[in-house]
């Protein structure tokens, strides 16, 4: 148990569906992240929120829309996805903000396995 909870754990959706991934952290951290993990590729940073402000948007297609209503919750809204978007989506949090210090550690959730048909 890392203190970061993601739901749902598994999601299957069609290309015309709208769905959302949810992440909640119980660690009192200031920053939250969305990462995409595809097979045989390094984790790809998608979005970073620090103190509820988006500070990083890594050229992610607009069909992915993040939302951070408070420092404990993070959503990823999905709309008209493509089959190549199928991947494991990992949420993470850290104590510091965007500036990960010498001791900064990312605490990951269990991930949401997304399959786009």
Partner 1 sequence: KNQVEQSPQSLIILEGKNCTLQCNYTVSPFSNLRWYKQDTGRGPVSLTIMTFSENTKSNGRYTATLDADTKQSSLHITASQLSDSASYICVVSEIYIPTFGRGTSLIVHP
Residues 6+ apart with CB under 8 A from 28: none
- Regarding 29 and contact with partner 1 (CB under 8 A), the answer is no
Residues near 60 by beta carbon (within 8 Å), at least 6 away in sequence = 46, 47
For residue 59, state whether it binds partner 1 (rule: CB under 8 A).
Answer: no
CA 13 to chain CA centroid, nearest Å: 17
Given candidates 12, 99, 115, 117, which one binds partner 1 under the rule CB under 8 A?
Answer: 99
**Interface region with partner 1, contact rule CB under 8 A, candidates 11-19, 39-47, 62-70, 76-84:** 39-47
User: Does 104 sit near partner 1 (CB under 8 A)?
Assistant: yes
What part of residues 3-22 is at the interface with partner 1 (CB under 8 A)? 4, 6
Q: Does 23 bind partner 1 (CB under 8 A)?
A: no
The HSE-up count of residue 111 (CA atoms within 13 Å, CB side) is 13
Distance from C-alpha of 58 to C-alpha of 41, rounded to nearest angstrom: 16
Token reading at 45: 């940073």
Query: Which one, 35 or 64, has the nearer CB to partner 1?
Result: 35
**Which residues contribute to the site for partner 1 (CB under 8 A)?**
2, 4, 6, 40-43, 45, 90, 92, 98-106, 108-111, 113
């Amino acid at each position: 148990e890392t203190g970061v909870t993601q739901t749902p754990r598994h999601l299957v959706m069609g290309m015309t569906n709208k769905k959302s991934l949810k992440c909640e952290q119980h660690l009192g951290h200031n920053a939250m992240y969305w990462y995409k993990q595809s097979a045989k590729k390094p984790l790809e940073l998608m979005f970073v929120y620090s103190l509820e402000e988006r500070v990083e948007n890594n050229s992610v297609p607009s069909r992915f829309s993040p939302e951070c209503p408070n420092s404990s919750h993070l959503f990823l809204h999905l709309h008209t996805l493509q089959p190549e978007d199928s991947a494991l989506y990992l949420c993470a949090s850290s104590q510091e903000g965007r500036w990960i210090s010498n001791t900064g550690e990312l605490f990951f959730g269990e991930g949401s396995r997304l399959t786009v048909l």
